[in-house]
Amino acid sequence: MTILIPLLAAGAAVLIGTVTLLYIHAPKTLYSSEAAHQHRLLPILASLRTRPLGSKLSLHRRTLDSNTIRNSSHKSSYSYFPVDLSSFHHILEINPSGGYVLCEPGVPFGDLLRELLKVGMTTLVVPELPGITVGGAIAGGGLESSSHRYGQVSDTVLELECLTPDLRVCSPSVDPDLFYAISASYNTVALMTRVKLQIARAPAYVSLQAERYSSFSSAVAALQSSTSDTVEGIAYSSTDILVVRGTHTSTPRSPIRRFSRHWDKWYYKSIHSQLAMTVPYADYCFRYNYGSFWMANYVLDMLGGDNLFTRFMVGSFLDTKHLFAVLHSSDLTDLGRMRVIQDFYVPAEKAVEFLEEAEREVGVYPLWLCPIKGTSTGQLLASHHSTAEKQFINVGIYGRPRQFPFNPQTLHSKLIDLLIQSGGRSMLYAQTWHSPEQFQAMYGEALKAVEGVRRSYGEEGCFFGLYEKVGLSERDRDELGRPMRGSEAEETRKVVRDILGKKLGLW
């Protein structure tokens, strides 16, 4: 009966929640002319001319559906100067014959792909969550299962318009040092205002074939050798690992499965039991949207288990848009005490050693394994930068450690040390536990070079330093080091109440 109460409450509140949903998902005017874009720039440029001496530029604020999960303590600094680019969310031009789309950085990939598919096109790399914006994928380093071929989203950019704070246009052939330094800089080199991305013909379907492996070594070898259109790995345990290869196709080759409806069985569970399937292209691109990979599975567990009924009743509130909204309206330190959420780029030749150590130290499953092609371009801060253009395996750790409760500082420090020894880097959208010494060991020479780029194109000190922006403050570290206020079950119930209550308008 206690399980049914929240479900009945959810059902009774659907009419109330409909108003909320319509507001949250209300479509924006997506298209804009270049002239309108230039007009939107005018007040931004005017405000930059009047900013106080010594102030540091950063985007205005984190929206509730941001896909970052770190605190923004730098915005409480007296030197913080907010730049509001929230209106820069338009598509300016789709040019299939020219092979590019011109858009503003605030366009989410979910909206962009929908419009591109209307003319049969797609970007070369589509991040797996539809709320990730074009600018966020470049500044943060977005990747996906096509990254073994194309690298990160940043590797498919043709041109950028940005504020340094002066308005500039850069590309691989015009001010290339600035162009590449923006990649994975988390808006500490320039603020993007317009992006030109490569596009290509989109397939109708992706035909998936999964293979089981019983060891990290055999799975990593399979990931490295793949030449398919897409490839990824999901480790359900250290001895149960799937390598999933995808082939673009115009006709179904196996049973069709959907993942874009809130009642659909989540992808990571479907592919584990059905090794061959054909998925409509858009459904494939955002296959991890519902459940946020597997992070929201505990919600279904608390509400009666994963079945068609619970997914139908509450599944619409378990997409990443709603989950991130709840996350950002609560205390991010609670998340840090309960879950490890990190993406680590590990050189492929060191991946097995890293995974085996992560198994001993963390024991989080499933793990996401995504191979990515390295780059020797000037993307010095990018996690896949390598002078030898080596291949990397992104190890996505999203979940509850085996030993619980755990000390976040101790656990993350061990993982970061292991990553440094492996010659890898972490993505910095998550809580950045690196000590100043660890951060320097991982990024030191790159930071010096990028600082030179910043001085060449802008005023010295007009942006926050990378560690200054993404690193955890001492206050955050102290908070995260304290024990949870309640039991794990109590904290989990609180999250479930937030999801149902805030999104259904119950409280």
Supply the pTM of this predicted model. 0.90
In a domain, 195, yes or no: yes
Q: What pLDDT score was predicted for residue 22? A: 34
**498 pLDDT higher than 80:** no
pLDDT band at 13 (very low <50, low <70, confident <90, very high): very low
pLDDT tens track for 172-194: 999 999 999 999 999 999 999 99
In a domain, 56, yes or no: yes
Beta-strand relationship, 56-59 and 80-83: parallel
Number of folded domains that form the chain: 1
Q: Which helix (H) or strand (E) holds 285?
A: helix 281-285
**Mean pLDDT across the chain:** 87
In a domain, 88, yes or no: yes
**269 pLDDT higher than 90:** yes
Q: Which of 110-114, 392-396, 501-505 has the weakest average pLDDT?
A: 501-505
Q: What pLDDT score was predicted for residue 407? A: 85
% residues pLDDT > 90 (the chain): 66
pLDDT band at 305 (very low <50, low <70, confident <90, very high): confident
pLDDT tens track for 447-472: 999 999 999 998 778 999 999 999 88
DSSP line for 335-386: HHHH-EEEEEEEEGGGHHHHHHHHHHHT---SEEEEEEE-B-SS-TTSTTB-
In a domain, 58, yes or no: yes
Return the number of other C-beta atoms located less than 10 Å from residue 300's C-beta: 19
Distances (CA, A) of 194 to 101, 170, 171: 11, 11, 12
Q: Hey, is 191 helix, strand or coil? A: strand
Residue type, 127: P
In a domain, 402, yes or no: no
DSSP line for 192-241: EEEEEEEEEEPPSEEEEEEEEESSHHHHHHHHHH--SSEEEEEEEETTEE
In a domain, 72, yes or no: yes
pLDDT tens track for 327-386: 666 555 566 677 889 999 999 999 999 999 999 999 999 999 999 999 999 999 999 999
The domain in which residue 90 lies consists of: 34-201
pLDDT band at 72 (very low <50, low <70, confident <90, very high): low
pLDDT band at 53 (very low <50, low <70, confident <90, very high): confident
Q: What pLDDT score was predicted for residue 42? A: 97
pLDDT band at 80 (very low <50, low <70, confident <90, very high): confident
In a domain, 68, yes or no: yes
Contact 105, 88 (CB under 8 A): yes
Q: What pLDDT score was predicted for residue 68? A: 62
* CATH number of the domain that residue 134 is part of: 3.30.465.10
The four Cα atoms 292, 327, 420, 125 give a dihedral, to 10 degrees, of 40
Q: Which residue has the tokens 């498919």?
A: 156
Q: What pLDDT score was predicted for residue 20? A: 37
Q: What pLDDT score was predicted for residue 2? A: 39
**17 pLDDT higher than 60:** no
Backbone angles phi and psi of 290, in degrees to 5? -75, 120
In a domain, 177, yes or no: yes
